[in-house]
Chain A
Amino acid sequence: MVILIAEKSDITRTGIRYILHELDKNQIVKELENPEKFRRTIEKEKPFLVFASADFLNDSFFLSIKNSKEKPIFVGINVDTIALSVFNFLSETIGFTSTKADILRILQRFSVAQTKEIFGKNDNELTTREIDVVREIAKGLTNKEIADKLFLSTHTIVTHRKNITRKLGIKTASGLTVYAIINNLIEIN
C-alpha cells in the first residue's frame, strides 16, 4: 500500500515522509517533485493515498483520471487558494499548521474506509435476536441467564454482545439499559 507525496518543496516532502514513517515505519512512501510526471507516477505506483500540493492539482489532471478504475484518495497540501472545482476532488487537506495527529487521523480515516469496502454494506442495524439480547441485558440478566432464557449457548450470547457493542458503540450494561429505555425496548419501573 503505497503513499505518494507530490510536492515541489524538499522541506515539505521530507517533513511529511518523516511523520508517515514515525507513524508506521513500514509504510512505503514514494516522492515526486516534478508535476509533469504526476499522472504517470500514479499509474505506475498505484498509491492508495496521495498528498499533493497546488502545483500538481488542476482540472485537467482530474479530468484525465476521471475514468480510471483505481483512483487514489487525494489530500491537498497548502491548497488554500486553489480553485473550488479542484478542491472538490480532495478528500482532506493539510497545511503548515497541521500536526502529526492530523496526519494520523487522515490515515486512520482512510484505512478504515478501505476495510469497510471489503466487508460491504452497512450492517449496523441490530438484528431481532440482538434486540432480544439487549432487552435481557437491560433487565439486568447475566449472560448465563440470558442464554437459558433464549435457549442459546452462553458462547452465542457473548458473540451477540460483542456485535451489539460494535454496532451501538455502547460497552456497559447500564449504558445498554439507557439505550433500551430510550428506544422503548423495555418499560421503566
Chain B
Amino acid sequence: MSRPRKDPRAERAAQRVAGATRPRFDLARTPETATSGRPRRDPRAEERLALVPGTLRRRLDRTRRAGEAAIPAPQPLATPAPDAPALRRIPEPAFLVALVPDAPGGRLTPHDRQLFGAARLLADAGGGAVVALVDPAADDLAAAGADRVLTLPVSGYDPEGKALALDAALAALGLRHLLFPESAEGGDLARRVAALSGEALFAGAESLTAKAVTRAAHGRRTEQRGAPPTLISLAPDAVAPHAGTLHEALPVAFAFPATTGGAILAAEFVAADPARVSLAEADFVTSAGNGVSDFETFRALIAALGATPGASRMVCDAGLMPRAAQVGASGTVLDARCYFALGIAGAPQHLQGVAKCEHVVAVNTDLHAAMIERAGLAIVADAQEVMPALLRLIAEEASA
C-alpha cells in the first residue's frame, strides 16, 4: 500500500559533482539511495481496501472492522502481562467489619461488590478484617475482598430466621460495623436486624468514608452526616468496588442459636412474565425499528425468545407498536441486561434509552448505523431474513 517516499533534496545532493568551484550537478547520474525512509501513503490502495463489497452505493469502511483479516495489522508493542493481584493476609484483625451481600443464586451483584468496597474502606482504615455473612456460599469472595466467610444457617425464604442469626452474630462476634445493600432484600434484612438489636440504622448511605457517612432525609431536602454507626445500608453506586488485592476468604465457624419456624408458611418464586413486565423493569428487551416490516414474525420471535417487546419512535409513531413500548429519551430508559435491536438506526435519542444495557445485539442492513457501532454482536443482514431463521433455529432446538 505504501512505497518509499522521495526526498528531492537528498537526490539533488547525490547528483552534485564534487571538487568544482561552482556547484555542478550530473543529472544523468541516478542516485543509489535517496529515500527519506518514511513510507509514502497510497490513498487509492487504502480506499480499495476500505471499499465495502456488495452494496449498491459506493461505501467505505474506514474503521476497517470488516476487512481486518485482509490488511496485516501493525505489530502491537509487546505489553507486559498484568501480574496477578497480590494476596493480603490479615491474621490478627484489630476489629471486624461484616457485610451481608444479596448474592442471588450465589452470584455477587455489582451492588454487592460496591458493598465489599465500602467494607474494605472501613476495615483498612484501622487494620480490621472484612467478614462476609453469606447463605449459600457465593463465588469469588476472595477477589471481592473478604478476609473471613461465615455461612448463615438459613434455608429457603426466611428473612426472620436470617435476621435472628445476624443479630446473634452481631452480639457475639463484636462486629464494629454491619453493612447491607439498600436493595429490596438487603434493605428488608437491615431493618429487621435494626429492630431486633435496637441499634439505629443508617439507611441508604450515599457517601461513605472511614470518618463520615451521609444520607438524604426529609424528602431529600436535608443531608444527615455522622461517624459511621454499627448498622449501615448502602445506596447503589455510592462506593467503588474493591480491586487490586486478593483476600483469604477463610471460613469461620460460629454456633448459631437454633431458630423456630416463623410466620411464613410457604414461599413460591414466580418468575417475571416478560410479556407483562414493564419496560423499565425488564431484563431482556427485543426492539423493532423502521427496518422491520414483518411484525407477525417479530411478535412470534418475542414470544419464542421470552423477551419484553420494545420499539423505536418511528415504529410507535406509525402505530405499529404501542407507545408504552418506545425505548429512548422520550420513551423508557431501560435497565435491561441485554438489548436486541432489529432494524434500528441508533439515533442519539434512542441510544440514550439503551445506555445502561450491558449487552447489545443489533441486526441492520447498514454497516454504518450507530446501533452497529454500539453493539457487542453486530450483524449486517436483513432483519426480515434473520427473524424467520431465528424462529426456525429455536423450534429446531426445542424439538431436538
Binding between chains A and B: no
Query: Which A residues are closer than 8 A to B by beta carbons?
Result: none
Query: Which B residues are closer than 8 A to A by beta carbons?
Result: none
